[in-house]
Structure 1
Amino acid sequence: MARIPKELVDHIIQTADIVEVVGDFVQLKRKGQNMWAPCPFHNEKSPSFSVNPAKSLYKCFGCGKAGGVVQFVMDVEGTSYVEALKYLAKKYAIEIQEEEKTPQQQLEQNERDSQFIVSDWAKNHFHRLLLNSEEGMSIGYGYLKERGLNLATIQQFELGYSLDSWDDLLKAAETGGYDKKYLEKTGLTVIKTDDQGHDTGRRYDRFRGRVMFPIHNISGRVVGFGARTLKRDDKMAKYLNSPESEIYHKSDVLYGLFQARQAIRTQEVCYLVEGYLDVLSLYQGGIKNVVASSGTSLTEGQIRLIKRYSDNVTVLYDGDAAGIKASLRGTDLILEGGLNVRVVLFPDGDDPDSYIRKVGDQRFTEYIETKSQDFISFKTTLVAREASNDPVKKAEAIRDVLHSIAKVPDAIKRQVFLQQTSATFGIDEQVLITEYNKLVKSPSKAAGGSSGGNAGNYGQGAGSANTGYQPNSGSRPAPASRPLSDEEEAEMLMYGGQEATVEILGAGISYQPAKAAAEEEDDQTDVLKLCEREVLRLLVLYAGREVEAETSVAAYLLGELGETPLTVPLFAEMWEICRQELLAGRFPDARLLAQNERADIRSLITDLATERYEISPNWRNKEIYVFNEVDLPKLACDNAVLRLNKVHVQRELDICLEKLRHPLEDAEMFEILGDIKRLKELDNELGALLGTVVGRSA
């Protein structure tokens, strides 16, 4: 795969003006040194979204989104890193010369580009026929108007119509000079074969006499079509979709997501429906954060797409019992993807499209707000009602619900759902917990769809020697170990643990890092992190500024503290990155560091470089002196180094004092007392240099 050279990436990042880029999406207003606006990623009344023009960084103090100019494009457009770079390059007229592709890679790229081009052309052709041809206006436009769609919605989604002809598209493509092979590759035309499967040389249009629904990918490019026939013919499929192609993979596309992605972000929820018209009617009714699976079973790829924009999904079910049962299986996948799932069930015989046309926009919105419930509760109530008079069906229903609960990654939520299920079915909670543990421990069950790797064990499973969570028990449960998830490992590393055991306590997860308990309880740990953070902040923000003649902040701090002065793993990694930059003859640049491929490093750099509050200029007008680290970098560096050293001395002093609480030989005790005396003297010296109160009681 071709790559963009690093030098060009750096040039794009340095050229891009974050104020201009962000300003394309929100209206920024200057307040102090920074620019502010309501956050484009979540709903808010007062602006908490800040852009720092000098450092080319953004941060929302409400939802926590943060990063540099490339990350902003990735977040707001839902694109990949490379696509975001290409977006910026196009905006600033920077030509991207990708590293040379192999002939095979170039051929594949040309083939994909050609298919995109012909799909876009076909979309425009169908759209013109809908609005400008006699057949399209009378049949296609007439049908859409009958379904309540206005012209604005039709144009927003680029709807079209295919003439009831065997070769209209073929003839138009030939006239336009388009290669027929790309019509075949995208499934727009079909090859006629004989009984032996041989090509007869004849071609015909796949879509004839149908209303056309273009399917866009997340970047807005047309990748395929859905098509509805308007003929009453039982032998003809009502809906016909494009076949899979090099540019169209059904499992990785959601209808309407291109139009809905911004609304999903700001509303912080995605409404999931089944059909094209459900999306169109809701969107026209003001519910713009809606997408459809287009009648296919929901896939992991589609769930990952939704998760780019929100962790919350509300599934809108038709009031059809058979359809609901089929959809329940797909919803389990959403749970397994870590999303919060709610459900709205419409009256029998209604779907989202028919119901919003029946009751109107406002009553529809009120309905989905008042009728939504969490998925597990919905499923539990549904299956319990159906199996209420049959003990065998009831047992199967309980296991079915437990399968769904096992998909939920969050331990606290799982425990709550187990309690709710116990109450709904009228079955002892401990019996449910035992059955749940059998489910998540069984390899065959896990292979059949249980997410045993994510779900924790509760209680005492059959044959297990561990005694875990017991309802209403006051005793502390024994730990039930399991592998750490990626999120848990990241959290553990962020807070300094190298190895850990995980305990499932029924109410959640607790960590016991493999360190002395006294260290974990040490109040100075937080102080140490703050001091280390301050040193790192000065290094990142003022690396190239002179502390004294021919000595930069970076060289000064590295000289004072050495190679590995920081204990928090993420801070230590960042320190080493900066050190390597300096050794390579470059100063660490916050603008470039904020584009790091690792999310934790991007977040750290943004936090270090972004302050929510600024000193009012009125203070200077009133001649109130405020220390300015920009003007006095040596003083800022000296204070940061002294504070860090003082915390280390105090920690050593506490360790020595702790040793005195245990029986010691005389020689060892006198040695420790000597260390304490030396450390207290050093602590007092550092305190005097900092101007703080000196002296610590033993």
Structure 2
Amino acid sequence: MARIPKETVDQIIHHADIVEVVGDFVSLKRKGQNMWACCPFHHEKSPSFSVAPAKGLYKCFGCGKAGGVVQFIMDIEGTSYVEALKYLAKKYGIDVEEEEKTPEQQLAQNDKDSQFIISNWAKDHYHRLLLSTDEGQGIGLSYLRQRGLNQTTIKTFELGYSLDQWDDLLKSATAAGFEQKYLEKTGLIIRREDDQGQDTGRRYDRFRGRVMFPIHNVSGRVIGFGARTLKPNDKTAKYLNSPESDIYHKSDVLYGLYQGRQAIRTEELCYLVEGYLDVLSLHQGGIKNVVASSGTSLTDGQIRLLKRYTDNVTVLYDGDAAGIRASLRGIDMLLEGGLNVRVVLFPDGNDPDSYIRKVGDQRFVEHLEGASQDFIQFKTDLVSREAAHDPVKKAEAIREVLQSIAKVPDPIKRQVFLQQTSQAFGIDEQVLITEYNKLVRNASGKAAGGQSSEGSGANSTGQPATRNQQSATRSLSPEEEAEALMYGASPEDLGGSSAFATEEKEELEPMPDVLQQCERELVRLLVLYASQPLSPDVAVAQYLLAQLEETPLRTPLYADVLHVCQQEMEQGRWPEVRTLIQHGRSDIRALIGDLATERYELSPNWTTHQIYVPRELDLIQEACDNAILRLKKEIVQRELNQLQKELRDARDPAAVDKILEALMLYKRLDNELAAHLGTVIPRNVG
């Protein structure tokens, strides 16, 4: 397999800005020296994901993922180290020279990489067919032109066309050297079965005679396709999507997010539409902060994806009442996900695509601004109109609105919505609060273990439950614990059901090995402060490595990191976090991420109020000395324990004398080390 030269790897890592790279996937906000966001690797509502620009690393205090810029791409993309480097090289315009690989060598990489490679190849194949074949131009390109799409939009979204043949893609891919198993895994071809469901061995293209819409993930890699048939009176589905695969999970994908993510972050707003052409027409009209659910019902994964980039979503509906009714549940999910939701309707049954082509870009934008309304108000108007003057229907309509309000996690917003609903229906607010609490209690009773649904807890007054009330009914999530600790809460403040609780002693994890703790501390000081001078001629790395020459570390991982640091020193470089975090071994990258990430930061207000707290850096000589002494003392104590065991088993008088002599020596060493550390009062030996 081809390798990327180390010089190129160093260049990539040097240019890759971790804030820029991570910022392509989540919306980072500065807090102190670091940047924070909700973690992209697990579901959370309070930010516990931290990026340290100065150290070039990230760390999630909820799920524990950590590493440097290359590791982040590997984690977010599920790809290999080499492919992550190539991604970064492409982002920063760095040429990667490597041995020419055959398609077979390309496919020798892991399955996911192979599926990415073949999907990208298929995208290029379809795009070429659209632009350079008679069928593609006469049918596919002609259709896109009729829909008002220009060349720039077609190129930006890499649209294509599949020939109306049974095996065009299969033949072309086979001729290019790609294995059929990867064509099948990505769903690009289908295996034919007989009437009894037996594999006949024959294969054919999934997409034939269709305009192709490549589906990109948030980093721009093609993971699947949507395809529209152009055949009149075709009995097959108008739209056909790629099946689920190792790289394509439709519940975690939003069409257009890759092309629109920067605009969404800049505008702090995302427009949510239904179809591919809605996205394409709006993007071409200058509204780039738009994504589509691609005709599927909204999922939790899609909502979490949106929340990485903005808290504000405006849903664009056509005027079809039945369609709006069917979509209300999806909007409730948006509310439950903590998003601020607004709605825009279009007149006369127009959808976003047809309306912008009908009225033009400027009038379309004016309509968005003028017709936008809060979802709760929109739903209130919708259900109240349907209820008209029927008291029974009106009561049911009120309950429907309250069910949506109960999805809102923010207690202040819930209270405002209750007030608005009271005014809209002419119902006393206290009556609504009583009914709201009844709905919440019913939902709580259905939840697993009788726990309240997160974000919907309310007390008897309709107000949000306090932290103490909530902690009595449910455990805190890792991200909530991280947030609480970041703002100064003690473990006891987190409640008896917290992960920090220690009521059931038998479930406590065993104490970590003391020797490992001592070795870890030495490695931490070495990694974080390698170049920090202790004297005019000696830095931390030189001092610690010299002290450890005759005291080898016994924990394999820590010994390996120490060896890497020694190699860096031998090559005239300090072993810096930015370099070590890019190491080829995942366990070393993970350790460096853990060692170099701090959960807490001192508030700058301490300095403002003239409260000065010594930093570790100010006491670095003492920290190094103590770490060395503690390691040596632990080694001595282990030797003492071993000698005492041997003494109990000894029978030969000469052996007993030899052991006692060694015991005296190690006792003196132990007392001397303890005296230096100031930890114990030496006891007489004899």
TM-score interval, smaller chain:
0.5 to 0.7
Q: 286-295 vs 68-77, which deviates more?
A: 68-77
Q: Is 2:117 the partner of 1:117? A: yes
Residue correspondence of structure 1 range 315-326 to structure 2 within 5 A: 315-326=315-326
Kept after mapping to 1: 8 A contact 2:444/2:452 = no
Q: Which residue of 2 aligns with 1:168?
A: 168
Q: Which residue of 1 aligns with 2:412?
A: 412
2:233 aligned counterpart, secondary structure: coil
Q: Which residue of 1 aligns with 2:492?
A: 499
Q: Which residue of 2 aligns with 1:67?
A: 52
Q: Which residue of 2 aligns with 1:367?
A: 367
Counterpart of 1:492 in structure 2: which amino acid? A
Kept after mapping to 1: 8 A contact 2:166/2:208 = yes
Residue correspondence of structure 1 range 61-140 to structure 2 within 5 A: 67-68=52-53, 69-71=56-58, 80=76, 89-90=85-86, 91=89, 110-140=110-140
Q: 8, 17, 20: which is aligned to 2:15? A: 20
1:399 aligned counterpart, secondary structure: helix
CA deviation string 1:198-218 (max 9, x = no partner):
233433322221111111222
The number of residue pairs the alignment matches comes to 514
User: Using a 3 Å threshold, how does the CA distance of structure 1 residues 14 and 155 change in structure 2: closer, same or farther?
Assistant: closer
Structure 1 gaps, min length 5: 1-10, 27-38, 97-105, 461-466, 471-475, 503-513, 515-537, 555-580, 612-628, 639-698
CA deviation string 1:46-100 (max 9, x = no partner):
xx99999xxxx8899xx9985233449599989729769767744489999xxxx
1:348 aligned counterpart, secondary structure: helix
Higher relative contact order, structure no. (Cα contacts within 8 Å, ≥ 6 residues apart): 2
Kept after mapping to 2: 8 A contact 1:430/1:459 = no
Q: Which residue of 2 aligns with 1:435?
A: 435
Kept after mapping to 2: 8 A contact 1:41/1:265 = no
Cα distance in 2 for partners of 1:352, 1:75 equals 40
Q: Normalization by structure 1: what TM-score? A: 0.61
Kept after mapping to 2: 8 A contact 1:257/1:291 = yes
User: Using a 3 Å threshold, how does the CA distance of structure 1 residues 479 and 15 change in structure 2: closer, same or farther?
Assistant: same
Cα distance in 2 for partners of 1:381, 1:400 equals 12
Deviation at 1:142, TM superposition (A): 0.6
CA deviation string 1:286-344 (max 9, x = no partner):
11121111101111111122222222222111221111111111111222222222222
Kept after mapping to 2: 8 A contact 1:542/1:553 = yes
Kept after mapping to 2: 8 A contact 1:468/1:478 = no
Q: Which residue of 2 aligns with 1:202?
A: 202
Q: Which residue of 2 aligns with 1:425?
A: 425
Kept after mapping to 2: 8 A contact 1:440/1:455 = no
User: Using a 3 Å threshold, how does the CA distance of structure 1 residues 596 and 414 change in structure 2: closer, same or farther?
Assistant: farther
Q: 593-602 vs 128-137, which deviates more?
A: 593-602
CA deviation string 1:644-681 (max 9, x = no partner):
xxxxxxxxxxxxxxxxxxxxxxxxxxxxxxxxxxxxxx
Q: Which residue of 1 aligns with 2:267?
A: 267
User: Using a 3 Å threshold, how does the CA distance of structure 1 residues 383 and 637 change in structure 2: closer, same or farther?
Assistant: same
Kept after mapping to 2: 8 A contact 1:314/1:342 = yes
Cα distance in 2 for partners of 1:353, 1:440 equals 39
Counterpart of 2:76 in structure 1: which amino acid? S
Deviation at 1:109, TM superposition (A): 6.4
Kept after mapping to 1: 8 A contact 2:320/2:349 = yes
Deviation at 1:22, TM superposition (A): 3.8
Kept after mapping to 1: 8 A contact 2:74/2:81 = no
User: Using a 3 Å threshold, how does the CA distance of structure 1 residues 553 and 376 change in structure 2: closer, same or farther?
Assistant: farther
Cα distance in 1 for partners of 2:30, 2:485 equals 28
Q: Which residue of 2 aligns with 1:281?
A: 281
Structure 2 gaps, min length 5: 1-5, 38-46, 59-67, 99-105, 496-500, 502-524, 542-560, 567-573, 582-588, 606-611, 621-686
Deviation at 1:445, TM superposition (A): 6.7
Kept after mapping to 1: 8 A contact 2:25/2:218 = no
Q: Is 2:214 the partner of 1:222? A: no
1:342 aligned counterpart, secondary structure: strand
Cα distance in 1 for partners of 2:305, 2:7 equals 27
User: Using a 3 Å threshold, how does the CA distance of structure 1 residues 131 and 276 change in structure 2: closer, same or farther?
Assistant: same
Deviation at 1:353, TM superposition (A): 0.8
Cα distance in 2 for partners of 1:217, 1:306 equals 13
Counterpart of 2:142 in structure 1: which amino acid? G
CA deviation string 1:114-154 (max 9, x = no partner):
33332222222211111111111111101101111011111
Q: Normalization by structure 2: what TM-score? A: 0.62
Cα distance in 1 for partners of 2:617, 2:171 equals 78
Counterpart of 2:277 in structure 1: which amino acid? L
Counterpart of 2:248 in structure 1: which amino acid? Y
Q: 83-92 vs 228-237, which deviates more?
A: 83-92
2:347 aligned counterpart, secondary structure: strand
Cα distance in 2 for partners of 1:597, 1:320 equals 55
CA-based RMSD of the aligned residues comes to 5.3
Q: 267-276 vs 12-21, which deviates more?
A: 12-21
User: Using a 3 Å threshold, how does the CA distance of structure 1 residues 395 and 552 change in structure 2: closer, same or farther?
Assistant: farther
Deviation at 1:597, TM superposition (A): 9.6
Cα distance in 2 for partners of 1:24, 1:551 equals 33
Residue correspondence of structure 1 range 404-553 to structure 2 within 5 A: 404-443=404-443, 446-447=446-447, 452-458=452-458, 460=460, 482-483=473-474, 484=476, 488-494=480-486, 495-500=488-493, 545-546=532-533
Identity fraction in percent: 60
CA deviation string 1:223-242 (max 9, x = no partner):
21111111221633211111
